[in-house]
Amino acid sequence: MLQKSVQVNQNKINFYFNASFKQLKQLVNVQSTFIITDANVYALHKSAFKNWKTIVIAAGESNKNLATVQLIIEQLIELKADRTATIIGVGGGVVTDITGFVASIYMRGVAFGFVPTTLLAMVDASIGGKNGVDWNLYKNIIGTIRQPSFLLYDTTFLNTLPELEWQNGFAEIIKHACIKNAAMFTMLEKVNPAALKKNKLQLNQLIQKNVQIKMAVVKNDENEKGERKLLNFGHTLGHAIENEYGLSHGYAVAVGVHYAALLSQQILGFKKAEAVSNLLTKFGLPTSFSFNTEKVMQMLQMDKKRQQAEVHYILLEKIGKGVILPIPLKDLEKMYTQLS
């Protein structure tokens, strides 16, 4: 088990790479620890949860809401969880988002940690302290920014990962490469995706690299006042079509990345839009999707990145260098219409 620590403001976050879920009991007091997981993870790894106080929630984004939060809090009360409790989310991004939110508000805040079980959660969703739930069609509009005490990485959980979940994770990895790491972009262009999934050493190194990229940004801008906005590359359009059309997160982000690359070409003279699209295709991700521009613009009216009548859009000057550019909503609508 490889331990690395990052200080974000007053919070020290420990990352445990190349670890085993069995080592979790070395990090916490089992008696005062409460695990939150979903029905899918629990069914696949039931024996791992033996002797742990476990709360199982329904799986899927549709359950990432206040009703689920209420059910969890009721169970924590029944289990007599007090202020000394540690709550651990074991699952994908839905589980870790909900867990962090519950831990942030239960008894005005208790300690929490994550054991991400999907590639998406390992490289992105569980990192950075953003916790929350959706409200109707609006993603993550209710939430907090509060850092976990630790994250434990056991890549054996990925052995049961469906292909779609691999693609969800690779969408975020490609996003990180586009905005922050040209060398990783080049490596991804050269690697065989099927071989990468089976190469434990290379996969662990890739996960660690993505954690380092995201945490370096978060450390400098925890509350998303500046640089952290770069992590929204592909997510402006991505979140809108994900919510409106029910696409998987990775597919929606991939389409968003493709469109952002085209906008970068149009506005900034970005020269690698085709290379971005080719890399997305190589990892089984879509680059096009037919959407109603008017409906998407209605969704963007409630996007957290909107300020007054413009959106802080993330574009690329070059591979590895993302920039933040305010674009008026009316101009963005015209550009979407031209590109779609």
- Known catalytic residues are 108, 130, 172, 214, 224, 228, 232, 235, 239, 249
Q: Copy the structure tokens of residue 281.
A: 């295709």
Task: Return the structure tokens found at 273.
Answer: 């839009």
At CA 323, angle to CA 320 and CA 324, rounded to 5? 150
CA distance 72 to 68: 6
CA distances from 130 to 94, 125, 183, 219, 293 (A): 12, 8, 27, 13, 29
C-alpha closest to that of 215 among 47, 2, 7, 56:
7
Question: Residue 38 contacts by C-beta under 8 Å, 6 or more apart in sequence?
Answer: 56, 57, 58, 59, 60, 63, 91, 92, 94, 95
Q: Which helix (H) or strand (E) holds 27?
A: none
Counted residue by residue, the chain has a size of: 340
Q: Give which of 287, 145, 124 is closest to 212, Cα–Cα.
A: 124
Helices (H) and strands (E) in the chain, counts: 13, 12
Name every residue whose Cβ is closer than 8 Å to that of residue 322 and which is 6 or more positions away in sequence. Answer: 178, 179, 180, 230, 233, 314, 315, 316
Which residue type sits at 120?
L
